[in-house]
Structure 1
Amino acid sequence: MAGSRSPRAAIIDIGSNSVRLVVYQGPPRLPAILFNEKVMAGLGRGLAATGAIDPASLSKAQVALARFASLAREMGVTTLRTVATAAVRDAANGGELIACAESLGLAVELLSGEQEAKAAGEGVLSAIPDADGIVGDLGGGSLELVRVRDGGVEDRVSFPLGVLRIPALREKGSKAFERLIGRLIEEAGWEGRGRGLPFYLVGGSWRALARLDMTLADYPLPIIHHYELTPLDILRLSRTIPHLSKARLREVKGLSSSRAATLADATALLSVLLKHLGSSTTVVSAFGLREGLLYGGLDAKTRALDPLIVAAREEGRLLGRFPEHGDLLESWIAPLFAGEAAAEARLRHAACLLADVGWRANPEFRAERGVEIALHGNWVGIDAEARAMLAQALHTSLGGGLDVPSPLAELASPAQLKLATSWGLAIRLGQRLSGGLAGPLERTGLVLDDTRLGLEMLEADRGFYGEAVERRHATLATALGKTPVRLTRT
């Protein structure tokens, strides 16, 4: 059973390509994934030709459902949703799978195409709150397009263009395939709807495409969320994929053989969609339907929370020594960075919340731990450039000095890394001055003027200004081009 600090929620997603169980626990705005397992049942395979789920796929899905129902009970899941999408919705024998699920105690929600689209759009918004463009969710049996803007889902449409249906549609040749997609897009009123806007990629086949491109480009940060592919990148991939050997595809980390088999079809569809929608670029979202279902059930106040700050605060609480210290640090160093843009200020806040995450590591590796957490943490609402800035701040604050560890210089500009270094030095000063306690931060303050960096404190607190604090004060002042001065506060 759970025996945990917060309840566990789970979703069983009966998709056209896979059946998956995901168990979540943690802050409602961005709970952590405790467990994630999928079975590639292929329910939508052959559906277009026969109108039914083939017996082998049906049996595979039934076995998966029995296992997932058992796991959910054993894990003490308090809220369990079971949803089914296009394959079950469209198949003549889809009711057999629903009956099997119900015999296992699972209440299946059969989502309509519009409900799928809405959930996919909200999934992207949960991870990229400022998303403004078209979401494309490519499943095994259907494709959903969703217009997202200003934190909300607007128009949406569903097409029978799942990746398992594409091979049959492409048999008549590329020109016939493009005409078909173009006609569907035009009839639905979506021609040119993405002009100049990003196209957000949701679904395992498109995420697999991003993994492939990362490998081919030797990209230094293997995080698919927020990875961008331009129309030219996609054109290049469409020409490259047919010539890739199975051995080369096996070198792509995280690319299953079942996903590898869909790459050419997923790329062909994406190329045509971008042409007709007019989208300027693509952005991969690691979040989709399942996360959208969770996000859609939140109240407006919780939905409005910044997912990066929520996750960083939780990580700091779990790994740090002083739970409230991160927010105090942020307030304490903020006067030094009053002119920053909002995007930089939220990164600085996240760095403060994570400033203590390396303390359990061997002292020789604390800075390295900070970089690893920043770069490879399961963050959303943050791109590779921002991850690099966060990593630089933690590297410096945890004793890594002023150097730039690899691969940060490949991800962010020198100016951005210099700014992040100054955040790290300021955090480092605050931590040493306070010893992780609230009082010293609440009674002292930083004052910045044209020439000086003042550390203001009460005369009674003068004892806190020891040799280590004086040294860190001087280091920060030098980085900011100022003279360090200790000031007495009355």
Structure 2
Amino acid sequence: MNSMLSQVRAIAETMATSPEHANARTAIIDIGSNSVRLVVYDGPRRIPFTLFNEKVMAGLGASLGKTGRIEPEAMERGLRAVGRFAHLCREMEVQDVRCVATAAVRDAANGEEFILRARAMGLKVELLSGAQEAIAAAHGVLSGIPGANGVVGDLGGGSLELARVRDGAVHDTISLPLGVLRLPQIRAKGPAVLERQVKKMLEKAGWVVEPGVPFYLVGGSWRSLARFDMQLTHFPLPVVHQYAMPASRAEQLTRIVSHVGRARLKDIPAITGSRVPTLPDAAALLSVVVRQLKSSELIVSAYGLREGLLFEDLPPEIRAHDPLLVAAEAEGEAQGRFVGHGDMIERWIASLFEDDEPSWRRIRRAACLLADVGWRANPDFRAERGVEIALHSNWVGITAPERAMLAQALHSNFGGGATVPPAIEGLASAAALKRATLWGLAIRLGQRLSGGVEGPLLASKLEMVGDTLELRLRNVDADLFGEAVERRQRHLAQAMGVKYRLAW
């Protein structure tokens, strides 16, 4: 079958990834101003999943604003991390290791020393310019949010990168010396200094303000700030990717964070202790930036520079693929019983839902691709398994309401009927969840009729004829229609509010 995933794999064979497990591994060592991190990825690069992830808060840029240098203790801590990461990559047989350094090493007077000592460990360090850093972060956002249209802001320890993304491409970029490790010095000069400096820097860079477009948040400090907001608002889905806030929320969070003690912030499980000291400055900068840019809303991206570097290496035809659908197909293939079954189910139920808007169609397709992932689970918990996969798997290119629709479809498919699980109440509209319920019941009917194989689906047709849900079989296939099939057809018809019948 010429599926999307098959195309990804075919091209991947000519790249650093390959069908062999060890050869499929790629890694990025990201030497930032605040942290040094290793991420090892496995599988096709369009849908990279994380095999290993470790960071060390080296603080290479901690004294940059005062001394212009990486302090000796930070230098040694960073190099120890790099040495460990290089060793781990060898042990994991990672064939493609990319080591990049950003603002701290770029700006420090002794940054070259760090690069030379890392080279002695067998690593070639790429020193990214501010523009390259901004482009990579923007590509990361486009990888995880393909329709992104606005300004990407990547807040690191040593710098803030801004990039305009539109129509799947990166346009204007700038890099500003406004990392969280530099902000305390600026803010100590007075409450209005940061605002004046940001305004002056944007004007000097010739940045064109476009009022009313979203601002996409990248970077650990801003993600932690978003997680704090999720706690404050009791947001029911603990997934930060594509979490959205009104732009005015930035100023509110600045005030709230300034009045909340560090001890209380450290008690929030989703916020790492190392990020707590940066939150007041990160919030203050966000408030100033979105005010200067006149942003419409804030959208968080879990993807950033590292994912962007992987995305940049992909050919255009693979970049264009929908990351949610590629990932759903991979998951369905890994956990399902029959390869290609999701595609067949989708074609079989499609005529019932021709009026679905495009954004709903892709969620319906994802549900079909995942239609068989629950078969190994205990039958009493399959519906819960479907909800768990939809809500908590590491999907990208999907909003919280869309996750809820996917969860509802899988819940209904795996035996949950028309009930709405408590975990998704309030995440999507009643109309959206109703539609997803119908998808799930239709998929469930197709699963039972076919037994998961191709023949019965090819030999039958499901469609609306007037006000009747009709299942049409050939005479020679009449014995496929049993009590279980009739019961599932009846349940779907009842949920749709129509009659049903079997036809020949």
Pick the TM interval, shorter chain. over 0.9
1:102-138 Cα shifts (integer Å, max 9, x gaps)? 1111111100000001001100000000000000000
Q: 2:113 aligns with which of 96, 99, 104?
A: 96
Q: Matches of residues 33-44 of structure 1 in structure 2 within 5 Å?
A: 33-44=50-61
Q: 2:412 aligns with which of 389, 396, 421?
A: 396
Residue 143 (str. 1) matches residue 160 (str. 2): yes
Give the corresponding residue for 1:201. 217
Does the Cα contact within 8 Å between 1:191 and 1:276 map onto a contact in 2? no
Residue 185 (str. 1) matches residue 192 (str. 2): no
Q: Which moved more, 1:247-256 or 1:321-330?
A: 247-256
Rounded Cα–Cα distance in structure 2 between residues aligned with 1:235 and 1:276: 12
Rounded Cα–Cα distance in structure 2 between residues aligned with 1:83 and 1:5: 22
Residue 377 (str. 1) matches residue 386 (str. 2): no
1:419-457 Cα shifts (integer Å, max 9, x gaps)? 000000000000000001111112211121331111112
Q: What SS class does the counterpart of residue 131 from structure 2 fall into?
A: helix
Residue 122 (str. 1) matches residue 133 (str. 2): no
1:313-352 Cα shifts (integer Å, max 9, x gaps)? 0111111111211111111111110111110000000001
Residue 407 of structure 1: how far off its partner (Å): 2.3
Does the Cα contact within 8 Å between 1:10 and 1:23 map onto a contact in 2? yes
Residue 6 of structure 1: how far off its partner (Å): 6.2
Residue 358 of structure 1: how far off its partner (Å): 1.3
Does the Cα contact within 8 Å between 2:23 and 2:94 map onto a contact in 1? no
Residue 5 of structure 1: how far off its partner (Å): 7.7
Q: 1:470 aligns with which of 477, 480, 486?
A: 486
Rounded Cα–Cα distance in structure 1 between residues aligned with 2:315 and 2:459: 37
- In structure 2, runs of 5+ residues without a counterpart are 1-18
Give the corresponding residue for 1:310. 326
Does the Cα contact within 8 Å between 1:8 and 1:79 map onto a contact in 2? yes
Q: What SS class does the counterpart of residue 12 from structure 1 fall into?
A: strand
Does the Cα contact within 8 Å between 1:15 and 1:86 map onto a contact in 2? yes
Give the corresponding residue for 2:186. 169
Residue 200 of structure 1: how far off its partner (Å): 0.2
Residue 220 (str. 1) matches residue 236 (str. 2): yes
Residue 351 (str. 1) matches residue 352 (str. 2): no
Residue 49 (str. 1) matches residue 66 (str. 2): yes
Q: What SS class does the counterpart of residue 407 from structure 1 fall into?
A: helix
Q: What SS class does the counterpart of residue 293 from structure 1 fall into?
A: helix
Rounded Cα–Cα distance in structure 1 between residues aligned with 2:75 and 2:270: 26
TM-score, structure 2 as length reference? 0.95
Rounded Cα–Cα distance in structure 2 between residues aligned with 1:255 and 1:356: 35
Does the Cα contact within 8 Å between 1:211 and 1:253 map onto a contact in 2? no
Give the corresponding residue for 1:233. 249
Rounded Cα–Cα distance in structure 2 between residues aligned with 1:191 and 1:118: 17
Rounded Cα–Cα distance in structure 1 between residues aligned with 2:197 and 2:289: 11
Residue 289 (str. 1) matches residue 309 (str. 2): no
Q: Identity, % of aligned pairs?
A: 58
Q: What SS class does the counterpart of residue 13 from structure 1 fall into?
A: strand
Residue 133 (str. 1) matches residue 150 (str. 2): yes
Does the Cα contact within 8 Å between 2:336 and 2:373 map onto a contact in 1? yes
Does the Cα contact within 8 Å between 2:24 and 2:44 map onto a contact in 1? no
Residue 301 (str. 1) matches residue 317 (str. 2): yes
Give the corresponding residue for 2:286. 270
1:203-230 Cα shifts (integer Å, max 9, x gaps)? 0000010011111111111100001122
User: What code does the residue aligned with 1:418 have?
Assistant: K
Rounded Cα–Cα distance in structure 1 between residues aligned with 2:453 and 2:243: 39
Rounded Cα–Cα distance in structure 2 between residues aligned with 1:90 and 1:287: 25
Rounded Cα–Cα distance in structure 2 between residues aligned with 1:5 and 1:261: 39
1:438-487 Cα shifts (integer Å, max 9, x gaps)? 11112211121331111112111111111000110111111112211112
Rounded Cα–Cα distance in structure 2 between residues aligned with 1:189 and 1:455: 63
User: What code does the residue aligned with 1:464 have?
Assistant: L
- In structure 1, runs of 5+ residues without a counterpart are none
Residue 247 of structure 1: how far off its partner (Å): 3.1
User: What code does the residue aligned with 2:435 have?
Assistant: L
Q: Matches of residues 441-456 of structure 1 in structure 2 within 5 Å?
A: 441-456=457-472
User: What code does the residue aligned with 2:78 have?
Assistant: A
Does the Cα contact within 8 Å between 2:236 and 2:423 map onto a contact in 1? yes
Q: 1:461 aligns with which of 477, 483, 489?
A: 477
Rounded Cα–Cα distance in structure 2 between residues aligned with 1:35 and 1:5: 14
Rounded Cα–Cα distance in structure 2 between residues aligned with 1:301 and 1:180: 42
Q: What SS class does the counterpart of residue 21 from structure 2 fall into?
A: coil
Q: What SS class does the counterpart of residue 261 from structure 1 fall into?
A: helix
Rounded Cα–Cα distance in structure 2 between residues aligned with 1:460 and 1:104: 70
Give the corresponding residue for 1:484. 500
Q: 1:32 aligns with which of 36, 45, 49?
A: 49
Q: What SS class does the counterpart of residue 37 from structure 2 fall into?
A: strand
Q: 2:425 aligns with which of 386, 409, 413?
A: 409
Give the corresponding residue for 2:379. 363
Rounded Cα–Cα distance in structure 2 between residues aligned with 1:247 and 1:360: 43
Q: What SS class does the counterpart of residue 425 from structure 2 fall into?
A: helix
Residue 418 (str. 1) matches residue 434 (str. 2): yes
Q: 1:243 aligns with which of 259, 263, 267?
A: 259
Give the corresponding residue for 2:28. 11
Does the Cα contact within 8 Å between 2:226 and 2:240 map onto a contact in 1? yes
Residue 355 of structure 1: how far off its partner (Å): 1.2
Rounded Cα–Cα distance in structure 1 between residues aligned with 2:22 and 2:87: 22
Q: What SS class does the counterpart of residue 352 from structure 2 fall into?
A: helix
Residue 409 of structure 1: how far off its partner (Å): 1.5
1:61-87 Cα shifts (integer Å, max 9, x gaps)? 111011100111111112110000010
Rounded Cα–Cα distance in structure 2 between residues aligned with 1:219 and 1:451: 40
Residue 157 of structure 1: how far off its partner (Å): 0.7
Rounded Cα–Cα distance in structure 2 between residues aligned with 1:147 and 1:3: 38
Rounded Cα–Cα distance in structure 2 between residues aligned with 1:335 and 1:3: 40
Cα RMSD of the aligned pairs, angstroms, is 1.2
TM-score, structure 1 as length reference? 0.97
Give the corresponding residue for 1:66. 83
Rounded Cα–Cα distance in structure 2 between residues aligned with 1:229 and 1:166: 23
Does the Cα contact within 8 Å between 1:27 and 1:314 map onto a contact in 2? no
Q: Which moved more, 1:277-286 or 1:98-107?
A: 98-107
Rounded Cα–Cα distance in structure 1 between residues aligned with 2:37 and 2:224: 17
Rounded Cα–Cα distance in structure 2 between residues aligned with 1:160 and 1:254: 28
Q: What SS class does the counterpart of residue 248 from structure 2 fall into?
A: helix
Residue 3 of structure 1: how far off its partner (Å): 6.0
Rounded Cα–Cα distance in structure 1 between residues aligned with 2:132 and 2:263: 39
Residue 148 of structure 1: how far off its partner (Å): 0.2
Residue 368 of structure 1: how far off its partner (Å): 0.4
Q: What SS class does the counterpart of residue 426 from structure 2 fall into?
A: helix
User: What code does the residue aligned with 2:168 have?
Assistant: G
